[in-house]
Amino acid sequence: MVYWRRLDKPLILAALLCSVLSIILLYSIWQNHIISSVGSSYYRTQLLSCGLGLACLLVLSAIDYHKLVRLWFLYAPVALVLTLLTFTALGHKRAGADDQAWLNLGFIQFQPSEVLKLAFILTFSLHLAKDESNMNKPLHMLLLCVHGAIPTGLIALQGDYGTAIVFAVVFLGMLFAAKISWKYVLAFLIAIPLALVAAWNFILGDTHKKRILVLLHPGTDPENIEYQQDRGLEALSNGKIFGVGLHAGKENYVSVPEIHNDFMFAQVGQALGFVGAVAVVLVLIFLCLKVLYDGFNTKDKMGMFLCTGVFCMLFIHCVMNIGMVLKVAPVIGVPLPFISAGGTATVSMYVALGLVVSAYGHNEKKYRVFE
């Protein structure tokens, strides 16, 4: 009974609502044959991933997050090794993707960056909690920056720039939560233009540059790079106020490449209309703010850093994904939390919430389920 009372039930319910909607939409996409490549396995995988993720959440919420953080020497090396394996023959590049960010083990394919995200949030929370009083000293700040640069750089080398941005935002958000000196903030602001110029000239490929340029100059796309976003906007507007419904027939839907994954928000608007899209945005806003609120109410800084990292991860995922669909951000392959199809991403998001619920539920020293 104590365990049940300590669960953050509104947070869990919000995530489950998103997952249920995801399964329903994937079933609808399959039944209506909106995209021929989306079979029944997608909604079944999503259902299985939701169940597995929820089980992980409930187990992790019962374990004191301090113990989880201090086991970094077990999961951090595993996350790094799995990520490095994507640069070997085991690395897999999915059809239509720009990056080689998947591992193909024959019986399963998964994205190690999702594991690395969780490992980074946990290890960086520990690093900040131990070094908070000294973090603004130059050497200590350098070590913190190295800590953030390693996973971000590895993911960028994969070509997965969207996930690299997620790592960078999580890193910066957690530093701000630890009260980074304004001197470093000023230096960062000065360095931004130089970093953007360097990225444009030495990191981004031609395709990534064109995706950015078509946002600045819409309609001037001889290679039809903006086709996916144009179709996404068409699908979104196709739903009007209340949507065409979940079983309107193939002829009444606008088909969008990757509508089940990166462009799932377009299907939300198409099937459920403006009302449904706004409702989904409100649920996601609640979910993000609840994570942040839980962080402010933890008993120590480590819990606060952990929740801040999860908040930043969820928030930037939502902003970037919805921005892609609304054509105010380039197509960069970042899924919408709990809604886009993807087993690895779904499980990792539930694990992240499990860490938050652990921090939420272990505010009192007398409460322990697993010692």
**Each residue of 265-324: pLDDT tens digit?**
999 999 999 999 999 999 999 999 999 999 998 888 999 999 999 999 999 999 999 999
| Confidence bin at 6 (pLDDT 50/70/90) | confident
Q: How confident is the model at residue 369 (pLDDT cuts 50, 70, 90)?
A: very low
Average pLDDT over residues 206-227: 74
| Cα 282 from Cα 273, distance rounded (Å) | 14
Q: What is the mean pLDDT of residues 126-132?
A: 93
224-251, pLDDT tens digit by residue? 778 888 899 999 999 999 999 998 888 8
Which pair of structure tokens corresponds to residue 268?
Answer: 């939300």
pLDDT at 126 over 80: yes
Picking from 329, 304, 303, the residue whose alpha carbon sits closest to that of residue 316 is 329
C-beta separation of 215 from 330 below 8 A = yes
pLDDT at 52: 96
Q: What does the alpha-carbon distance between residue 205 and residue 284 come to, in Å, rounded to a whole number?
A: 32
Q: Which residues contact 120 (CB under 8 A, 6 or more apart)?
A: 79, 148, 151, 167, 170, 171, 309
Question: Would you kindly state where each structural domain of the chain is located, as residue ranges?
Answer: 2-361
Mean pLDDT, residues 151-157: 92
Q: How much is the pTM?
A: 0.92
> What pLDDT shows up at residue 220?
66
* 137-151, 186-200, 218-232, 352-366: range with lowest mean pLDDT: 218-232
Mean pLDDT of the chain: 89
